Every structure is written in C-alpha cells, then in structure tokens.
Amino acid sequence: MASSKLVTPFLGGTRKTIIMNLLGKDANSVELASKIGINESAIRRHLETLEKEGLVFSRFQRFDRGRPKKIFSLTANGKAVFPRKSKELLSFLARKMTERYGEREMELLMSLVAKDFAEAFITKEIQGDLESRLGQLVQLQNDYGFFASLSKRGDKYVIECHNCVFEDVIPL
C-alpha cells in the first residue's frame, strides 16, 4: 500500500485510508469497515462525501446469492491524488535523446512537437484583423497557463510568454 504521506494532504485521516484501500481493489462498505476498523455507517458517510468530491464512484454488482452490493471504486480524480513521476521520466528521456541524437536533432524534434501541439491547442478558428487574431492567440496561451502578453514595438507585434508550462520537463 502507498505511504499515507504521499496522498494528497486535503484528505482527512479516514478518507485518506479509504482512498488508499480502494487503490487497486474495489470494495463494498462492509469490506472497508472491516479493514479500517470503524462502523459501516461511518464508512458510508465518508464514501458519500468522496463521491460528491468526485474521487470515488459506485455501482451495483450482482453476486450468486442475495441482493446486489454497492461496490466502490476510485475515479480518475481519485487515482490522481497518488504520486505520479511522469515529469521525471520525460526529463530523463529528453536528456538521453539529446545525448544520443544531439542538440540540433532535439531542436528539430521539439519544433515538430510544438507544431503538433499548436494544432491540437488551437481548437477554434481565430478570426479578425491581425491584432485581433494575435489577441485571441494570447488568450489561448493564457488559458493553457503561459501567462502571455501582447505588445506592439514600432511596426511589429511581440508575444511574450512569462511562464513555460513545460519547463519542469525541458529546462530552458
């Protein structure tokens, strides 16, 4: 089981324990109560709160005998409270690719990735005169977290991004 220190701190003790017990194995309230050592009605109240928060979902499952049981599982948001190391993997991968293929090839590859990213990023048609289109582009960048600004210097427009959303993977 994951260390409780790694699970998002906003979860209280019992909710954190429930989330940790649902990681990798769905369970009903009786099973959770037995594992955690508190009564079933308390578990149900916590599960109800976790469902409202979008961390857990429930479904009814029919077994050979008896009534269907309400089974609880983690949602994608529930799984997201556990640590991920994608950033580190991408950073190692970028470093190894640069070592193997050289900086020039990496720059070419990154420009191809940037082109693909821009095509996926711009989901609506940008319209209007040049200044309006540039303003819309800056807004799209800001929606993604770039903290971009548009200024005019003489007869040229300049877009400056004050935050690189990829810097933790590919340092500048």
Q: Are 130 and 118 in contact (CB under 8 A)?
A: no
Banded model confidence at residue 4, pLDDT cuts 50, 70, 90: very low
125: pLDDT strictly greater than 90: no
Span 91-97, mean pLDDT? 89
User: pLDDT value at position 66?
Assistant: 87
- The DSSP 8-state label assigned to residue 11 in this structure reads S
Q: Write the CB contacts of 134 (distance below 8 Å, at least 6 apart in sequence).
A: 150, 157, 159
Write out pLDDT tens, residues 40-65. 999 999 999 999 999 999 999 998 88
Given the structure tokens 């599982």, which residue do they identify?
Answer: 73
For the chain, percent of residues with pLDDT exceeding 70: 91
Report helix, strand or coil for 160: strand
Q: How far apart are CA 17 and CA 4, in angstroms?
A: 8
Angle between helices 29-36 and 40-52 (to 10 degrees): 110
Residues of the chain with CATH 1.10.10.10: 13-79
CATH of the structural domain 13-79, one choice from 3.40.50.2020, 1.10.260.40, 1.10.10.10, 3.30.70.360? 1.10.10.10
| Higher-pLDDT residue of 4, 83 | 83
1-15 burial: b if 16+ Cβ within 10 Å, else e? eeeeeebeeebeebb
